[in-house]
A and B are shown apart, each in its own frame.
Chain A
């Protein structure tokens, strides 16, 4: 029913208000944050396709006129004229020979996945960087670069999921408290005080002793405690906004509480929330890393930056482990902080852009 205005401002196809346009401009103007976002996004997208970059099986096999995609499916060795009906091990020289005899294959850039053990090392593991293992191997002979790519992906995905879920819960809790106020607010606040007093690390250690923590378990456990970060901010915005004239006007129109919250008050809290998000993401990634570092995180064998750090600490004679983990973590967290700063500036109405 909306008539289309010819000169409506659009961003990614969505109609935006001039205010949003101004914020986008302000964000773009912060060169550091703007480029950090692009670099981070590029890294993230690249690592999302980690299987095509670092894998111990080829992307594409051409064998006897047929096309095979080992990245997606397992083929038994017999497919390529081998002897065993088990999944083909493409790193096995015998299999490689069989395939290259009657066809060819395209390998990913890095021919290792995160748990591939390179048995063909020139020196005992951890072995230093070489032509084969660009960043060396860890103390179990696994390629550091491959683990890094997968570890980066899992860290960011974990961080994003945790951030998204805890924001939803935090915003909802803050909204209810701030909007209704009174005893509900008081009670909830006291609950949060008690809840945030629980020792999270001990709980995780105890839980780790009788369940095998995996990605989702960790996510759930962390979520139990991480949603409180946003509550205070959102609650404060709601306490302020519920007395705004346009909220009163909406109540005078007979609008229901839920609609008022979603339509009139929540947009006020989005600025505060969005400003916080990069920092919460940072916090989530750091938490996962530190748990992995301590050994209470993802199950053994998973690619993880924290585990790499721990290896670096245990193998001081192999500085490429610690240094790699340090530089990757430091740059990832810095990129996110720079993005966060730019977002904060973009939403700051007092920030004068010249």
Chain B
């Protein structure tokens, strides 16, 4: 909509540089290097990049919200908003702009609302400050806004606290706060990354709708190319603090010029799992597995009811195959994975390599632990920060006495590290010196060094950047083919599941709603919930489930 050719754009950024002072004598870090772009009213511009590419820092510079003076802008940096220079503007002027003419929606709806304030107060605050409305008028406007963002039963929710809302509802409240003063520019920093796919679709739809209705400009920051394709008119691809390519969305996706853009576009997990033998022996079989957490009530702590985290799930994972477990947060996927490994208490029958392990004590279970391993979602929290890589990987070897000597242990560690594609020279280093993808490789090496037969992969890719995700998926596929591993692959990301799983289970509220071969479930979902999930994941379409 840049038809008003003579008029200046709403937001114009020229040669923006941001430098962070180094800590304790370290070199200063240039997080953003001479970035320029402009954005018109009614337009959506997506800043795309992997973590650490400087996209959030760019967005925060617009509002001048960086931790000055640790952060500093370069001498030629210009941020002109509606003809007004924002770099180095006086605090009073910035306050008039922030939350009034430029609003921001943050990534994490759990922490961006004040837990001690009711919805009424959170939203009305900005109205009272900027619009000087009376309390009654602010209240009316708040209800109006909550209706606008589609929060059901808004009138009765005014007194609610953030913890009483779900993640998606909280993000709606955040958006209501952001648009309360009808800003000219809305900055959305990964607005849906923390949300489930079906909710993500709803929120994106809402943002699009609001942009069109108010003629706002939308600066969208994301790493998710599917979202970009659906939402943005213009794209800027950022890496290492620089914009390497910019242009209209269709053009960039059709004819990427810069090698990084090409790599990014090629990085989406592709392909299907290698065909597997459907008659292979069952490595892990579970019947009617239940994990019920008791809710205790009253003075005597009597059991008043149960949270049925996993409620009667039956499954089988064959040697050399992958069973994908799909569902939204709270559906019990992770609990199921932990139950199969007896890391949480469960009822039912769990047979691992034809031994029923439900009744075994932890001591009896220890020899079996070698053969069933787990890789967790977040490689930042799953590695002890105070142990070196070698110490992390060797722990299992020590527990199971798998190496006769220190030299042999060393050799096994190095083999495992090489196998996951890491340089064994780094064995003495600490986890924080590695990137997210490398850390996930260390976590896989820790499991692999024991030569297990069954691995539970609990969202192993969802904390990683897109290009790294594809590499990890590739690695997992390779390891499966080489060692005939059985995987239970838990994920909410259907793209990754499709690339890896032979069979698929769809879970909702602790129960299986659909199960079958991956292609069959993906192409012809039967259950309405599965259908909604597929639509949201692949087309970002909001379908009422």
Contacts and interface: CB of A to CB of B under 8 A. Distances in A.
Contact of B450 (A1, A22, A253): A253
B340 to A, nearest CB: 11
B453 to A, nearest CB: 14
Contact of B374 (A22, A249, A255, A259): A249
Nearest to B383: A246
B428 A2 contact: yes
B400 to A, nearest CB: 7
A18 B430 CA distance: 9
Given A248-B376, A249-B376, A254-B366, A354 B383 contact: no
Contacts of B544: none
Contacts of A22: 23-24
Contacts of B343: 248, 251-252
A245 B378 contact: yes
Interface in A1-52: 1-3, 5, 8, 17-19, 22, 25-26, 29
B366 A263 contact: no
A253 B399 contact: yes
B386 A26 contact: no
A188 B15 CA distance: 62
B229 to A, nearest CB: 33
A246 B381 contact: yes
Given A19-B385, A267-B386, A248 B374 contact: yes
B377 to A, nearest CB: 8
A203 to B, nearest CB: 34
B324 to A, nearest CB: 20
A256 B381 CA distance: 20
A264 B24 contact: no
Contacts of A26: 24
B133 interface: no
B396 A254 contact: yes
Given A1-B406, A252-B343, A254-B399, A17 B23 contact: no
B410 interface: yes
Residue of A1, A5, A25, A26 contacting most chain B CB atoms (<10 Å): A1
Given A2-B428, A253-B369, A254-B366, A264 B399 contact: no
B365 interface: yes
Contacts of A251: 343
Given A17-B386, A255-B399, A3 B428 contact: yes
Contacts of A8: 428
A252 B374 contact: yes
Given A1-B406, A245-B378, A252-B374, A353 B383 contact: no
A261 interface: no
B85 interface: no
A244 interface: yes
A26 B26 CA distance: 13
A256 to B, nearest CB: 8
A263 B23 CA distance: 29
B58 interface: no
A267 B384 contact: yes
Contacts of A131: none
Interface in B379-430: 381-387, 390, 395-396, 399-400, 406-407, 409-410, 428, 430
Contacts of B409: 1
Instruction: For chain A, give the interface size range.
Output: 20 to 34
Nearest to B390: A2
Interface residues of B, number: 43
A352 B384 CA distance: 24
A354 B23 CA distance: 6
Nearest to A267: B386
Nearest to A15: B428
Interface string B5-38: 0000000000000000101110000000000000
A125 interface: no
Contacts of B326: none
Nearest to A241: B384
A337 interface: no
Contact of A354 (B70, B384, B446): B70
Of the listed residues B367, B386, B400, B410, the one surrounded by the most CB atoms of chain A closer than 10 A to its CB is B386
B443 interface: yes
Given A245-B381, A248-B376, A254 B24 contact: no
Contact of B373 (A246, A252, A267, A354): A252
A294 to B, nearest CB: 44
B384 A246 contact: yes
B386 A254 contact: no
A332 interface: no
A216 to B, nearest CB: 36
B101 interface: no
A19 B432 CA distance: 9
Nearest to A25: B24
Nearest to A17: B430
B370 interface: yes
A239 interface: no
B341 interface: yes
A172 interface: no
Contacts of B382: 244-246, 248-249
Interface string B425-459: 00010101100000000010010001000000000
Nearest to A26: B24
A291 interface: no
Given A1-B407, A246-B384, A249-B382, A352 B376 contact: no
Interface string A51-82: 00000000000000000000000000000000
Interface in B351-374: 365-367, 369-370, 372-374
A187 to B, nearest CB: 14
B333 to A, nearest CB: 15
Interface in B45-75: 67, 70
A254 B384 contact: no
A157 interface: no
B384 A252 contact: no
A250 to B, nearest CB: 7
A274 to B, nearest CB: 13
A29 B25 CA distance: 11
A256 B433 CA distance: 28
Interface string B329-361: 000000000100101000000000000000000
A256 B25 CA distance: 42
17 contacts: A5-B428, A17-B430, A18-B433, A22-B23, A22-B24, A246-B381, A248-B376, A248-B382, A249-B374, A249-B446, A251-B343, A253-B450, A254-B400, A259-B399, A263-B384, A267-B384, A352-B67
Minimum-distance CB pairs A-B, first 4: A254-B369, A245-B382, A1-B406, A253-B396
Given A253-B396, A352-B23, 4 more contacts: A22-B24, A246-B384, A253-B373, A352-B67
